[in-house]
Amino acid sequence: MSEPLFEFKNIHVEVEGKKVVHGVSLKINKGEVHAIMGPNGSGKSSLSNALMGHPAYKITQGEAFLDGRNLINMSADERSRAGLFLAFQYPLAIPGVTVANFMRAALQSHRGKDADMTDFRKLFTAQMKELHVDRSFATRYLNDGFSGGEKKRIEILQMSMLKPRIALLDETDSGLDIDALKQVAEGINRYHNDENGVLMVTHYQRLLNYVKPQYVHVMYKGQFVTSGGPELALKLEDRGYEWIEKKVGQEAEV
């Protein structure tokens, strides 16, 4: 078997001196879609931020590789250029920076300082159309006054433009109505192919109705407590996270 597209091993994360992730490991091969599910406060977002290189989320132990390249000593921008993408749970507003200028700067950084950007406008316009984003958003300030759904669509727009090797989607379904959820899911499915990978991090099962994972991992108190196929997501939907809490409790007693 060839080497995995994305792999992290025994990742421990600390935030402000507090340990929030205690040794998690995962392998994602090309073409795979994985989901990490878990209740609030289980460490899902901390893991996502730490993998992306957020300075406040320190990886104190463990390794992470993308296309065989060690990510741990890379800064966030280097990880992005190496092919990692994080769609944020709460995309931040950057006043005074237009969506178009931001997108151009991001794409330029991926292509290299002197790379040709003459196709930018065409690409950008096409992607906006596919994601049902109004053209007027190009000249609006990034996420400034955007609704929850608009912010998430703009995140997916960024993913579509940057074409990462691995897309980490942190609660991308939160705050979306059903139409927006479908459009965002379509965007993810359009992006996904046999050469890249998707890792969805979510509290609810509903996004998984539209973007089908082959593997589901359940995170609880900073650890992966169980893994399985798509049926695991349905089981969680059915039984709720209490089932996991009981299960972990029982195992601890044994």
Q: Contact positions toward another protein, by CB under 8 A?
A: 52-56, 75-77, 79-81, 86, 88, 91-92, 94-97, 101-102, 105-106, 109-110, 141, 158, 162
Nearer to another protein, 80 or 205 (CB): 80
In the complex, minimum distance from the CB of residue 91 to another protein, in angstroms, rounded to a whole number: 7
Smaller CB separation from another protein, 42 or 48: 48
Tokens of 34: 């994985």
**Does residue 141 contact residue 98 with C-beta atoms inside 8 Å?**
yes
Beta bridge partners of 13: 21, 59
Reduced to 3 states (helix: H, G, I; strand: E, B; else coil), residue 10 is strand
Please, what is the minimum distance in Å from the beta carbon of residue 212 to another protein?
26
Q: Which CB atom, from 88 or from 215, has the smaller least distance to another protein?
A: 88
CB 201 → another protein: shortest distance, Å?
Answer: 15
Beta-sheet pairing, 223-228 with 215-220: antiparallel
Residue nearer to another protein on the CB measure, 165 or 235: 165
Q: With respect to another protein, which residue has the nearer C-beta, 187 or 213?
A: 187
The dihedrals phi and psi of 15, each to the nearest 5 degrees, come to -125, 125
* Distance in angstroms (rounded) separating the CA atoms of residues 202 and 89: 10
**Are residues 246 and 46 in contact, defined by beta-carbon separation less than 8 angstroms?**
no
Tokens read off for 213: 């994972």
Least separation in angstroms between residue 93's CB and another protein is 9
Between 90 and 243, name the residue whose CB sits nearer to another protein.
Answer: 90
Residue 103 or 236 having the CB closest to another protein: 103
- Calpha distance 241→254 (Å, rounded): 20
Amino acid at 164: P
**φ and ψ at residue 228, rounded to 5 degrees:** -170, -165
Contact between residue 140 and residue 94 where contact means Cβ atoms under 8 Å apart: no
Q: At 126, list the tokens.
A: 């096409």
Least CB distance to another protein at residue 216 (A) = 25
Q: How far is the CB of 191 from another protein (least distance, A)?
A: 15
As measured in angstroms, the least distance from the Cβ of 162 to another protein is 7
Q: What would the DSSP string read from start to end of 75-104? A: -HHHHHHHTEEEE-SSPPP-TT-BHHHHHH
